[in-house]
Chains A and B, each alone.
Chain A
Amino acid sequence: MKNKIFGPLNEETTKVILECISDGVFTIDYNWEITSFNRAAEEITGISRKDAVGRHCWEVFRSNMCEAECALKKTMEEGKPFISTSGYIINSKQKRVPITVSTSLLIDKSGDVIGGVEIFRDHSLVEDLRKEISAGVNIEDMVSTSSAMKKTLNILPQIAESDATVLIQGETGTGKELMAKAVHNISHRKSAPFITINCGALPDTLLESELFGYKKGAFTSAEKDKPGQFSLAHGGTIFLDEIGDTSPAFQVRLLRVLQDHEYTPLGGVKKEKTDIRIIAATNKDLSAMVKTGEFRQDLFYRINVIAVKLPPLRQRMEDIPLLVERFVSRFNIRRNKFIQGIDQKVLHTLMNHDYPGNIRELENIIEHSFILCTKGYIQPAHLPIFLNAEPLDEDPSIADETKSGDPVRAAQVKLILEALKRNNYNRTEAAIDIGIHKSTLFRRIKKLGISL
């Protein structure tokens, strides 16, 4: 080690460091023109160094802070650095990229100020993690390039603002609940609860007590008053999923609430006022059910004030690459992996499937692939067998699992069986191979019903 670096770094070393770091760095002169632009800045903004150098910083950086709260301007005016101001930039793909910014003056050897330096960090991952933890849903979370979906998404703010009852119709797995949450989260009710009730999952009497609550003594085990979801969601939104599966008797009670904004808890004598917004959803054709008398016409008109129809995935296949990118990024966060994306052959296979389970099915396919793919790009061999992505020479027991229609379970079975095979059915070795404890492997074998 002859050439040890002591003291101030020379220009070349500084250049190398700037090119290696993951924070975007650019410098400006007194005319606000960019004089240097590092590799990370190119990546975050999507603008090449060649295009950036010599341009005004606001033409390249394009941040919401440029006009009113430019950190560099403050630094230049006050002569002091600013650390970690938050905002966003608009990159060359028209995406809002959340960032934090730090700025400082550039001073030459003689102590004269020659410009400023701005260091910015892409906070997309932190934002994604924050959303993952809080499970918040925004319109931005509903991605689409299809014109039908775009039209719906564009009117969502007006729908949210209106406070009217909304009926969301669409096949299973098209994102009805996600849309309901998005409407709630941009409405004035966003700070109040959003409660989901699956009407199809509960018998009539239970559904009524769940929604309206009951008074002490209403029935044998009613030992004390229990508030219903209408009371708990006061000021918020109730999402009634599978509304088409409700009985005529329940439909009458719901109609009353929607008309009079009041209800009587089971066993109660006094009416209680309610201030909630109802968003209903169904995968059935309610207008056809009205004609056959299965659904009350008056309730249909009450909930059908604003109707939103979510197209099935097979009618918006152009969204598949975008959705896949979103799922890959989400599962990378959840599973602490760094999968880079999907192989072209995988995209081809995905584009040729008709998705009876819609977006949920696509999400499950990606989740399945995440279990089998350890790094790089997802390959055809990582896809569930039912997609026939690659001729497979598989264990028949794996194929049986896949036929059962649960791709995630099938992937887990496949992972374990393959590890066992590789290790001559030595369970301890197989557990080490897939990175889990021996007892966890035993538990999984039992839970998944794998016969050895």
Chain B
Amino acid sequence: MKIAVTIWGNRISPVFDASSNLLIAEIENSIVVSKTFKTINPDTPETLVNLLTHLGVPVLICGAISQKASDTILQSRIELISFVTGNTDRFLESFALKNGIEKGFMMPGCSTHYCRKRNPGATIF
């Protein structure tokens, strides 16, 4: 399974709308087996959706995201896990093991509603 994470150095980028770096990690048997990096333009989330679809990445993980950008991503078949924070490597290890988000990786203000969303009509490919 592949997942994409918007990053800032060795951290998850705090704001998707201002992030320009993307890490694509491939997870096999609960271990991260490969990582590739891409540059993105956060002003055109639809282009990012096309890229992820083309690369066969079904999950996007990011920090805070505006409603507009979130809506654009959720119109596609991509699952969005937003308001995530922390060190990228530690997060990936944790995610690969549990396929979920530990509370410690959630941004404050996000504890009341789990920020994992998917277009109800979408199926994960």
| Interface residue A90 (Cβ < 8 Å from any Cβ of B) | yes
| Interface residue A45 (Cβ < 8 Å from any Cβ of B) | yes
Interface stretch among A60-68, A269-277, A403-411?
Answer: A60-68
Residues from chain A with Cβ under 8 Å of B65 in the complex: 90, 94
CB contact list, A75-123 vs B, under 8 A: 90, 92-96
| Interface residue B67 (Cβ < 8 Å from any Cβ of A) | yes
Q: Are B15 and A63 in contact (CB under 8 A)?
A: yes
- Nearest Cβ in chain A — how far from B99, in angstroms? 23
Interface flags, B82-116, vs A, CB<8A=1, else 0: 00010000000000000000000001111100000
User: With the chains together, A346 CA to B66 CA distance in Å?
Assistant: 30
| Interface residue A150 (Cβ < 8 Å from any Cβ of B) | yes
Interface stretch among A50-58, A129-137, A301-309?
Answer: A50-58
Given A62-B63, A139-B68, A140-B68: A90 and B109 interface contact (C-beta under 8 Å):
no
Interface stretch among A151-159, A221-229, A240-248?
Answer: A151-159
User: With the chains together, A140 CA to B18 CA distance in Å?
Assistant: 17
User: With the chains together, A67 CA to B46 CA distance in Å?
Assistant: 22
CB contact list, A133-180 vs B, under 8 A: 139-140, 150-151, 153-154, 157-158
- Nearest Cβ in chain A — how far from B14, in angstroms? 4
Residues from chain B with Cβ under 8 Å of A46 in the complex: 109
CB contact list, B49-78 vs A, under 8 A: 63-68, 70-72, 75
Residues from chain B with Cβ under 8 Å of A153 in the complex: 71
Given A66-B18, A67-B18, A151-B75: A92 and B70 interface contact (C-beta under 8 Å):
no
User: With the chains together, A64 CA to B8 CA distance in Å?
Assistant: 12
Name the contact of B72 in the complex, choosing from A47, A48, A64, A154 (C-beta under 8 A): A154
CB contact list, A420-434 vs B, under 8 A: none
User: With the chains together, A45 CA to B17 CA distance in Å?
Assistant: 16
| Interface residue A59 (Cβ < 8 Å from any Cβ of B) | yes
Q: Are A157 and B71 in contact (CB under 8 A)?
A: no
Q: Are A60 and B108 in contact (CB under 8 A)?
A: yes
Residues from chain B with Cβ under 8 Å of A63 in the complex: 14-15, 18
User: With the chains together, A315 CA to B90 CA distance in Å?
Assistant: 46
User: With the chains together, A90 CA to B82 CA distance in Å?
Assistant: 12
CB contact list, B21-65 vs A, under 8 A: 44, 46, 63-65
User: With the chains together, A62 CA to B66 CA distance in Å?
Assistant: 11
Q: Are A64 and B85 in contact (CB under 8 A)?
A: no
Q: Are A154 and B110 in contact (CB under 8 A)?
A: no
Q: Are B8 and A67 in contact (CB under 8 A)?
A: yes
Q: Are A62 and B8 in contact (CB under 8 A)?
A: no
Q: In terms of DSSP, what is the predominant structure of the interface of chain A?
A: mixed
Residues from chain B with Cβ under 8 Å of A92 in the complex: 109-110
Q: Are B75 and A154 in contact (CB under 8 A)?
A: yes
Q: Which residue of A lies closest to B119 (CB)?
A: A147
Q: Which residue of B lies closest to A50 (CB)?
A: B108
User: With the chains together, A140 CA to B71 CA distance in Å?
Assistant: 12
Q: In terms of DSSP, what is the predominant structure of the interface of chain B?
A: loop
Name the contact of A95 in the complex, choosing from B66, B75, B107 (C-beta under 8 A): B66
Q: Are A94 and B108 in contact (CB under 8 A)?
A: no
Q: Which residue of B lies closest to A143 (CB)?
A: B67
- Nearest Cβ in chain A — how far from B13, in angstroms? 7
User: With the chains together, A90 CA to B107 CA distance in Å?
Assistant: 12
Of A58, A59, A65, A151, most B-chain CB atoms within 10 Å: A59
User: With the chains together, A65 CA to B46 CA distance in Å?
Assistant: 23
Residues from chain B with Cβ under 8 Å of A66 in the complex: 8, 14-15, 18
User: With the chains together, A404 CA to B19 CA distance in Å?
Assistant: 54
User: With the chains together, A442 CA to B11 CA distance in Å?
Assistant: 68
Q: Are A96 and B17 in contact (CB under 8 A)?
A: yes
- Nearest Cβ in chain B — how far from A336, in angstroms? 29
Q: Are A157 and B44 in contact (CB under 8 A)?
A: yes
- Nearest Cβ in chain B — how far from A360, in angstroms? 24
Q: Are B75 and A59 in contact (CB under 8 A)?
A: no
Q: Are B46 and A158 in contact (CB under 8 A)?
A: yes
Residues from chain A with Cβ under 8 Å of B71 in the complex: 150, 153-154
Residues from chain A with Cβ under 8 Å of B18 in the complex: 63-68
Q: Are B66 and A96 in contact (CB under 8 A)?
A: yes
Name the contact of B14 in the complex, choosing from A47, A51, A59, A158 (C-beta under 8 A): A59
Q: Are A90 and B108 in contact (CB under 8 A)?
A: no
Residues from chain A with Cβ under 8 Å of B108 in the complex: 47-48, 51-52, 55, 59-60
What 13 additional pairs, Cβ within 8 angstroms, besides A51-B111, A59-B107, A90-B17? A46-B109, A47-B108, A58-B14, A59-B14, A60-B109, A63-B15, A67-B18, A90-B64, A92-B109, A92-B110, A153-B71, A154-B46, A154-B75
Return the 6 tightest CB-CB contacts between A and B, nearest first.
A51-B108, A92-B109, A64-B18, A90-B64, A62-B64, A58-B14
